[in-house]
Chains A and B, each alone.
Chain A
Amino acid sequence: MTVFPLKFTRLASDYLFADDAGGYFRGDRNFLERYAGGNLTASDTEFLHRNGYAFDEVGDPAYLGFAYRWAQRLHRPQGLNYVILVPTLRCNLACGYCQVSRVNQNTTGFDWTEDALAEVLRFLDGMDTASAKIEFQGGEPLLRLDLLQTVREFARRKFKDVSFTVCTNLQSVSDEAWTFLDASDTFVSTSLDGDLSAHQRQRTITSHGTDQFVSNLRYGIERLGRGKVSALPTLDVNNLPTPNQIIETFGDFGFRSIFLRPINHQGFARKRYQTTGMDERWNDYHGRFIDALIEHNWTADFPVEEFYFTHCLRRVLRGGHNHHVDLRNPNILGKDYIVIDFDGTFYPSDEARMVTRVGQIDLSLGSLWDGIDQVKLDVLNEEATNSFHPDCIHCPYQAACGIDVIDDLSRYGRIDVPKRDTTFCRRHTAIFEKVFELLYSDDKKAHKSLAAWAGIPEFDSSLAPVHR
């Protein structure tokens, strides 16, 4: 019998063991010593073999089951099917942290030109996919409803199955815009920065502005339906609402999924807010937020989730969970999704667009007129995997984790910083530690939330295997 290599880390008074295919179990110090010393007992080998951590011969069911699960952990990018469009950089808000850079509503020269629009349509027409997702970013995209309409009409004809997301601040929505948003294939994503006082401080500035937003958000949910509107909070690590304030504010609007994001290091936010050295504070807050959700869910009628924690939990439990572009491995850029800026420039992600806008490093990838800069893309993609990274291969969370070349470049200007010194690694390590802490907890409240987040009827202790 051969045991697939196990990695391990501390888990409370024991150790967590994990393999490259995402299998894991809890074991004690004695097992670790038997494993490391090559002195496995009959009960060890029985456990390891039965649970898929070992095989008898190459090609047997245990071996191929492992190989399949290992392969499932890898993200295999599809052809281009997700396009983020920035028809204008103009905005009717001036949020202090605006990550994307923005210009005042009346500034000229920051919208797609007629020519750019024609090229965008040509670009969409060249996509070889039956189903597609198109996201309108800004600036405030509703300032150019005419462009949105043209793109949507074209895309509906071009693709068999297509959906649209308008990322809007919902500050000022015309009757025409509401009619546009009524369509069943069109969704709204907005910002709701934690609680209303933080929202006002960071975004709307005046109580009148806040009232306008709140009334539009309520009206939007009522008119379009709850399933068509989502909201994301962007939080200032130096001025955080309490977890319960956020849960209550979101709950008040009927939102059951909250995606907590700290003010982004990238873009102009960096100039105004202190965002380095904040990892511990953020990680601690995120952990406390999860605890608050667990407490909330214990008595709530409908469970609430933190989107990213749920995503990480599911990536711990199973392979193939790759729908969120920020966390996957390999994270091949410029393949299944791309950003097209107001001036027709391509970027591999919205973050790359921000980093480039502040002049830190040019991560643009060509343009509508020149095509994709494949040479540059290849350079970025060479390192877009954690599979062989000398730090990651020893990490028990590797199979569930991912990699973010853009994040490393934007923070450190290079990608060879030791992983444990990067924000990406620290944040994900903290999340995975929390995931395993909860999986191996015997707290019924934690189990109730875990089941809801994992999408199973009830928690079962077999999801937290133990071997001694």
Chain B
Amino acid sequence: MIDLRLKIDDVPIDHPSIVRLRTDVVESEHDAVLIDRDHESQTFDLAGYSLRVYCGPQTDLDGDVLLVVPGRNSAHRLVRAGSRHNTFLVTEQCDQLCVMCSQPPKKYHVDLFEQFTVAATLAPENARITISGGEPLLHKRRLYQFLVAAAKARPDISFHVLTNGQFFEPGDIAIIDEIGRDRVLWGIPLYAPHAELHDSIVAKRGAFETLSQNFVTLMRAGAAVELRTVVLQQNWDVLPRLADYTSTRLPFIDVWAIMQLENIGYGRMNWAHSFKDTSLDFGQLRSAINLAIGRGIQTLLYNFPLCTVPSQYRHLAPSTISDWKNKFLEECGECALRSTCGGFFEWYKADQGFGGLSRQ
């Protein structure tokens, strides 16, 4: 597991600041250049002050972007220059309480969009930044401002916004256009093809109805959408019908991501009655996948260890677990598929997990 927070010595700042760490060149007022390095830390020059970051001497911090908050002895590593998995958690508030939530909501919100805008402009070339929450669109006006500003400042970068889709309005089409339709991939979950089940999974009455209307808005906007469905015991039986719904109502989506459960947050709490062991029973997925792909919907399996997937479906399962939170088990050691497998979540518990793992 890679730490997304780095221990630092206190720095004399009075508001949350963005710093980019550099080993030699300085290109921006936000850049802090390396001045010292020892076995437990690297020290950077930040506008005359020393910023001491604790990490191993081998750790490459060049190009990493940190969020430093006054009075805190740890910095958020917002952008890791060498990683494809950079996420800005823009709020922890949410209007839904999904049974599988990996990041349960909190009540309070601190607006750091200004800092996120600076951080985005400092990201490495062609970076794709994930915007996550909570529900980012609860602060829609600020989010859009951030996306417009960052997209304009950096024509090379793109965004993957994870949202429950509840807050889009027909009037948003103009701003989605302004940000750039090909600049944002909206990752939006749909758990069932009908209101009763979807609403109960996300614990919000009327969520399905609102979401289906908002998909219409996104279709009209020409937005790029990644439809996300976490496989659960709750929706297992309706997956083929969800495939049917997707192919008839949502033919405009870019990709349908069928996802395995992450056992953290509510996902861990609800594990026993939510986790569906697809290594022992792949049945409904077969049907759903073949119908969806047959009808022209690109369909992928996220967070499925390759050995849990029947061989003729493995090409649909890219390695998707973020580099900072994936791991491999002892029995993965000699596995022939290891180099293309995403492995397991760091918090995966073997005794409650897949019953059908097998070294390939």
User: Which residues on A are within 8 Å of B, measured CB to CB?
Assistant: 23, 50-52, 59-62, 64-66, 68-69, 72, 317-321, 451, 454-460, 462-463
If A318-B294, A456-B293, A456-B294 touch, whether A64 touches B216 (CB-CB below 8 Å) is yes
- State whether the Cβ of B349 lies closer than 8 Å to any Cβ in chain A: no
Instruction: Pick the 3 closest A-B CB pairs, nearest first.
Output: A318-B296, A52-B248, A460-B290
In the assembled complex, the Cα of A457 lies from the Cα of B312 at a distance in Å of 6
Q: Could you tell me if B294 and A454 are in contact, using CB atoms closer than 8 angstroms?
A: yes
Partner of A456, one of B248, B290, B310: B290
Residues of A within 8 A of B310 (CB): 457
B264-307 vs A, CB cutoff 8 Å, 1 = contact: the mask equals: 00000000000000000000001101110111100000000000
- State whether the Cβ of B41 lies closer than 8 Å to any Cβ in chain A: no
In the assembled complex, the Cα of A457 lies from the Cα of B314 at a distance in Å of 10
Chain B interface main SS type: helix
Q: Could you tell me if A463 and B216 are in contact, using CB atoms closer than 8 angstroms?
A: no
- State whether the Cβ of B251 lies closer than 8 Å to any Cβ in chain A: yes
- State whether the Cβ of B145 lies closer than 8 Å to any Cβ in chain A: no
If A457-B312, A460-B294 touch, whether A69 touches B251 (CB-CB below 8 Å) is yes
In the assembled complex, the Cα of A317 lies from the Cα of B251 at a distance in Å of 13
Select the residue from A62, A68, A459 with max chain B CB neighbours within 10 A: A68
Q: Could you tell me if A62 and B248 are in contact, using CB atoms closer than 8 angstroms?
A: yes
Q: Could you tell me if B296 and A319 are in contact, using CB atoms closer than 8 angstroms?
A: yes
Q: Could you tell me if B290 and A65 are in contact, using CB atoms closer than 8 angstroms?
A: no
Q: Could you tell me if B313 and A457 are in contact, using CB atoms closer than 8 angstroms?
A: yes
- State whether the Cβ of B215 lies closer than 8 Å to any Cβ in chain A: yes
Q: Could you tell me if B296 and A462 are in contact, using CB atoms closer than 8 angstroms?
A: no
Write 24 A-B pairs (CB below 8 A) sorted by A numbering: A23-B248, A51-B248, A52-B249, A59-B216, A61-B212, A61-B215, A68-B219, A68-B251, A68-B252, A69-B248, A69-B251, A317-B295, A317-B296, A318-B296, A456-B289, A457-B316, A458-B286, A458-B312, A459-B290, A460-B287, A462-B240, A462-B244, A462-B290, A463-B295
Give how many B residues have a beta carbon under 8 Å from the other chain's beta carbons. 29
Closest to B299 in A: A456
Q: Could you tell me if B291 and A65 are in contact, using CB atoms closer than 8 angstroms?
A: no
Closest to B213 in A: A61
Residues of B within 8 A of A60 (CB): 216
Closest to A461 in B: B287
Residues of B within 8 A of A52 (CB): 247-249
- State whether the Cβ of B250 lies closer than 8 Å to any Cβ in chain A: yes
In the assembled complex, the Cα of A27 lies from the Cα of B313 at a distance in Å of 32
Residues of B within 8 A of A321 (CB): 296
CB within 8 Å of A: which B47-102 residues: none
In the assembled complex, the Cα of A51 lies from the Cα of B241 at a distance in Å of 9
Closest to A317 in B: B294
Q: Could you tell me if A61 and B295 are in contact, using CB atoms closer than 8 angstroms?
A: no
In the assembled complex, the Cα of A459 lies from the Cα of B290 at a distance in Å of 7
In the assembled complex, the Cα of A110 lies from the Cα of B248 at a distance in Å of 54
Q: Could you tell me if A460 and B286 are in contact, using CB atoms closer than 8 angstroms?
A: yes
CB within 8 Å of A: which B157-193 residues: none
Closest to A457 in B: B312
Residues of A within 8 A of B287 (CB): 460, 462
